[in-house]
Amino acid sequence: MILRIIALLAVVTLAACEAPVVVTAPPAGGPSAVVQSGASEPQSVASFQQIVRRMEPVVERECRIRAPRLNCDFAIQIFENPRLPPNAFQTLDDGGRPVLGFTATLIEDVRNADELAFVLGHEAAHHIAGHLSRQAENATLGAAIFGALAAQTGATADGVASAQELGAAVGARSYSKDFELEADRLGTVLTQLSGYDPLVGAAYFNRIPDPGNRFLGTHPPNAQRIAVVQETAAQF
Ligand SMILES: [Zn+2]
C-alpha cells in the first residue's frame, strides 16, 4: 500500500495541474530577447519563447552551480489546450529530465514579460531546490506514521490503508508553504539574473485568488509571497 501511495505521489507535480493534451517545445536558438519591463503588454507564445531563450541558459547555469548532482537540462513546454486553466508546474519526465510546463492560458493571463519570467524562475527554483524529492520523503514519512498509529489502535487493513493515504497527503503538504516561499526567494534571484524585474513580476500574485492561510493549503498567502520577493530583491 505504501508503495502504491509513493508511486502515485511520484507523478504528483508541485502545482495542481490538469493533464496536457498538446505539447509544443519552443525552438532552440534564435535572436536574443528584447526585455519589456513594467508596462502592461499582452504576452503571446512568441514572447514567451523570447523569455525562454534569455532565461534558460541563466537558470541552467545556476542549477549546475547550486545543485551539481541534479539534471539541469530543463525542458520547457507549453500546453496549448485552451481549456486548461492558467497554470505552471515543475515535474520530471520518464528519463528524469526536469520539465517546466506552462499552459497557454497562463501566458495570455500575465500582463508583461516580467510576470512570465518570474513564474518561470519560480518553477525552475522548485527543481533546483529539490522540492519534488523532499515532498516525496515527507509523504513517505507521513504514510508510515499515520499507518502505524492506525495499526496500534486496532484498525482493519482497510483502515490502515486509508490512514496511510491520508498520512501521505498530509506529509506531502506539510512543507509545501515553505517550499513555495523558498521557490519565490530563489525565483526572485533567477529572474533578476536574467535581466527581468521580480518586483514587477510578483505583481501577478495580486491578481490571482489568494489562498489565505487555510489549514493544509499548499500555497502561502499572496502578501507573504510578495514580502519575500521584496526582501530578496532588496538584498540582491
Ligand atoms: Zn510553486
pLDDT, tens digit, for every residue of 153-178?
Answer: 899 999 999 999 988 888 877 768 88
CA–centroid distance, 124 to ligand 1, in Å, is 9
CA–centroid distance, 187 to ligand 1, in Å, is 10
Q: What's the predicted TM-score (pTM) here? A: 0.75
| H/E stretch holding 103 | strand 98-103
Domain edges within the chain: 2-11+21-132+174-235
Q: What integer is the mean pLDDT of 186-208?
A: 94
Q: How confident is the model at residue 194 (pLDDT cuts 50, 70, 90)?
A: very high
Distance of alpha carbon 99 from alpha carbon 78, whole angstroms: 10
Q: How confident is the model at residue 97 (pLDDT cuts 50, 70, 90)?
A: very high
The residues, any chain, with a CB within 8 Å of residue 170's CB and separated by 6 or more, are 142, 146, 216
Bridge-partner residues for 101, per DSSP? 77, 89
CA–centroid distance, 153 to ligand 1, in Å, is 37
CA–centroid distance, 95 to ligand 1, in Å, is 22
Answer yes or no: is pLDDT of 76 > 60: yes
What pLDDT was estimated at residue 215? 57
Q: Which amino acid is at 4?
A: R
Per the prediction, the chain carries an average pLDDT of 82
CA–centroid distance, 148 to ligand 1, in Å, is 31
Find the angle CA(221)-CA(223)-CA(226) to the nearest 5 degrees. 115
